[in-house]
Structure 1
Amino acid sequence: MSRPSATLRTAVVWDVLRGALDQRAELADHAELAVLDTGGGTGNFAVPVARLGHRVTVVDPSPDALFALERRAAEAGVADRVRGVQGDVRGLFEVAERGAYDVVFCHGVLEYVDDPAEGLGNAVAALREEGGTLSVLASGLGGAVLARALAGHFTEARHALTSPGGRWGESDPMPRRFTPEQLTALVTSTGLEVISVHGVRVFADLVPGALVDTEPDALEALARLEAAAAELPDFQSVASQLHVLAEIPPRGVRPAVR
């Protein structure tokens, strides 16, 4: 069963990020921000951010993804604003500078690392001490449970619901999932202040693509529905992904990252 477009599935996150980037540029008093995208892959977010006039460093372990990033940035005319380096969040400061970035993305990373707290701590340590914004995007537990149940895999849905990592079985390709409470607690444990929480892909992963393609204005209506549900806690709990935006508190007060 085909799904609605990838653009729709990331629209909520992109809307939040655009506003956060504008606000951070105003607070930093410089239009060009230094952005670090950990696990940024082929540049789904990095290239649009560069097109806004910011400089983006993408850290990703896959050389193939970084090659695609380079090509994508060149095609978008922002090759001079996007730099890809091979690495991961665990060894982040082997390839990136500590405390050097206005904004850090940690998207699709915490599900895969051995120690999410350590990985997130490194992402936070990359932010400027005088002020910075962190964007975290991770897989949601509720969305996986709902999807397995609607597909008729009831035992797998129950297993995901009750297993510590939110996995539905040995063949589940996702190592770990989070509830909204777990993800926000992980972020706040770093000393950052959570600004907003959004549910992402609440409906988009469940709606058949054929339905969107055949109904007039269905795609736009679905996008509006996703945006309306994203901030509601009841719908965040069943979203496929969770997005948390956080900032360094005033005066840069935060616990030391080990």
Structure 2
Amino acid sequence: MVTPEIMDYYRQGGERDRLAAGAGRLEFLRTWDVLNRVLPEAPADVLDVGGATGVYAGPLARAGYRVHVVDPVPEHVAQAATRPGVTAVRGDARMLPVADHGVDAVLLLGPLYHLPIRAERVAAWREAARVVRPGGVVVAATISRFASLLDGFVWDYFTDARFRPLVERALTDGVHRNIDADRRWFTSAYFHHPDELTAEVAESGLHLRRRVAVEGPLWMTGARLPEILADPDLTDLMLEMLRAVEEEPSLLGASSHLLTIASAPPG
């Protein structure tokens, strides 16, 4: 399903708390804000593909959605299944264990950046198109082509001579190959250029609705971000301002993550 390197990375348990603080917390708040605006009203059937430990599935279930997680990591599946109202199975985004047109919405918040081959990413998009009902929504997360370059300066990774080649390769073809498996850096992945997403969606038979910058450039505030997130008024202001510019084309590449919202043709 995924390479041994990627499996080992996720079996360390980092996904359990990654979205709880700092840039991860901003990613969660912004993703949740977008989901609240684009998902059909509850109750609805949501398939959370690559849903990890159920960080989004849990709140969605509490909001009244019927949520089913599919993830390749056994430990993730076990943890997600403990969340009230959530079911979970092991599976692959390119071959979903779900019937045709069986759900109202599909989340691809993890799979696409672990599929470096374009045909496999399109296969994941097509599987989402297959299982979603006519008119249903698909929301996919991708990592920006420029994320490692910017991250390297925010956290001073360039002081390690091994880091620069990772960045240069990613800038060339989008492939981030963490061959040394250094835990400070993300595991091997694919970093999208924002302009690639339009064609991937089109090839799947879905209709592109929006491309949204998740964190915008504010994730690069680094050490000050926890201070902002600790202040409810500043957090609200930041979310309001990011919402205002989330579709600004000139800012898409400056965001660490992007969300692509697509829909299935009406029946």
Matched, 1:127 2:138: no
Any unmatched runs of 5+ in structure 1?
26-30, 74-78, 252-258
Residue 149 of structure 1: how far off its partner (Å): 4.7
Q: Which residue number in structure 2 is paired with residue 254 of structure 1?
A: none
State the TM-score, normalized to the length of structure 2: 0.76
Instruction: Rate the CA distance shift 1:228–1:191 in 2: closer, same or farther, 3 A.
Output: same
Q: Which residue number in structure 2 is paired with residue 69 of structure 1?
A: 80
The structure 2 residue matched to 1:97, chosen from 99, 102, 113, is 99
How far apart are the structure 2 equivalents of 1:9 and 1:91? Answer: 27
Q: Which residue number in structure 2 is paired with residue 174 of structure 1?
A: 188
Residue 57 of structure 1: how far off its partner (Å): 0.8
How far apart are the structure 1 equivalents of 2:23 and 2:187? Answer: 22
Q: Which residue number in structure 1 is paired with residue 45 of structure 2?
A: 34
Residue 85 of structure 1: how far off its partner (Å): 0.7
Matched, 1:195 2:209: yes
Does the CA-based 8 Å contact 1:90-1:118 persist in structure 2? Answer: yes
Does the CA-based 8 Å contact 2:217-2:251 persist in structure 1? Answer: no
How far apart are the structure 1 equivalents of 2:21 and 2:64? Answer: 32
Instruction: Rate the CA distance shift 1:219–1:4 in 2: closer, same or farther, 3 A.
Output: farther
Which has the larger displacement, 187-196 or 215-224? 215-224
Root-mean-square deviation over aligned CA pairs? 2.6
Does the CA-based 8 Å contact 2:70-2:91 persist in structure 1? Answer: yes
Residue 220 of structure 1: how far off its partner (Å): 4.1
Instruction: Rate the CA distance shift 1:9–1:39 in 2: closer, same or farther, 3 A.
Output: same
Residue 196 of structure 1: how far off its partner (Å): 1.3
Determine helix, strand or coil for the equivalent of 1:90.
Answer: coil
Determine helix, strand or coil for the equivalent of 2:81.
Answer: helix
Q: Which residue number in structure 2 is paired with residue 161 of structure 1?
A: 171
How far apart are the structure 2 equivalents of 1:222 and 1:20? Answer: 20
How far apart are the structure 2 equivalents of 1:127 and 1:204? Answer: 33
Residue 204 of structure 1: how far off its partner (Å): 4.7
How far apart are the structure 1 equivalents of 2:225 and 2:48? Answer: 34
Residue 169 of structure 1: how far off its partner (Å): 5.9
Determine helix, strand or coil for the equivalent of 1:83.
Answer: strand
Any unmatched runs of 5+ in structure 2?
1-19, 181-185
State the TM-score, normalized to the length of structure 1: 0.79
The structure 2 residue matched to 1:10, chosen from 28, 34, 50, is 28
Instruction: Rate the CA distance shift 1:56–1:170 in 2: closer, same or farther, 3 A.
Output: same
Instruction: Rate the CA distance shift 1:4–1:223 in 2: closer, same or farther, 3 A.
Output: farther
Q: Which residue number in structure 1 is paired with residue 110 of structure 2?
A: 108
How far apart are the structure 2 equivalents of 1:165 and 1:143? Answer: 10
Q: Which residue number in structure 1 is paired with residue 17 of structure 2?
A: none
